[in-house]
Copies of this chain bind each other. A is one copy, B any other.
């Protein structure tokens, strides 16, 4: 491998927790890309197909940035992603949308939770990793078209509102339960928080913030949560 001109640490010196973090973010983006692209099939119009495709493509490009960042630091992206294949597959397996609206809400809610997680974690990593994580956050706003569509749909179909509110709760529940499974398995990543001078109370507060933000997104779509 070529010398990295930016003087980043060589293999072995990169914190195992950062490798884990990059791995889970990268595989999360790659899988979100595949799932969202597949959900384009459910879109009722060409314009919506195209907008959902935009979301999916953005996720792939973010995956690519993360993978390049890893390679540049001597981290093998596939090895870093491998531990997260099962929990992320399990999340998507348990949250297959049964229609276009569920797919839309999943895209919006999933995008939001992922961005919250990027934001929470970016305080605990080195500057280079921070920069690549920041670019995922800068891409915000692509998912905003979802809000109006969901609001319009539930205005004419109140049973949809109840069903989608339930769906949103399920998405959050499944995400948190997979996150917990990951935390138990991956000591290093869990220690990234705690070892970073964060006590368990603060970790609890982080989960409260994630949940609060999720509620806010649900409310924005007109869904009680």
Contact = CB atoms under 8 A, between A and B. Distances in A.
A46 B85 CA distance: 9
Interface string A172-194: 00000000000000000000000
A81 B111 CA distance: 29
Contacts of A206: none
A57 interface: yes
A60 B56 contact: yes
Contacts of A33: 37, 40, 53, 57
Nearest to A92: B41
A149 interface: no
Contacts of A50: 30, 63, 67, 77
B30 A53 contact: yes
A37 B30 CA distance: 10
The A contact surface, by secondary structure, is: helix
A108 to B, nearest CB: 19
A61 interface: yes
Contact of A34 (B40, B63, B77): B40
A41 to B, nearest CB: 6
A166 interface: no
Given A34-B40, A37-B33, A38-B34, A53 B46 contact: no
A14 interface: no
Nearest to A29: B53
A33 B61 CA distance: 14
A34 B34 contact: no
A223 to B, nearest CB: 27
A45 interface: yes
Given A37-B37, A46-B81, 16 more contacts: A27-B46, A30-B50, A30-B53, A33-B37, A33-B40, A34-B40, A37-B38, A46-B82, A46-B85, A47-B78, A50-B67, A50-B77, A53-B63, A56-B60, A57-B60, A57-B64
Interface of A: 27, 30, 33-34, 37-38, 40-41, 45-47, 49-50, 53-54, 56-57, 60-61, 63-64, 67, 77-78, 81-82, 85
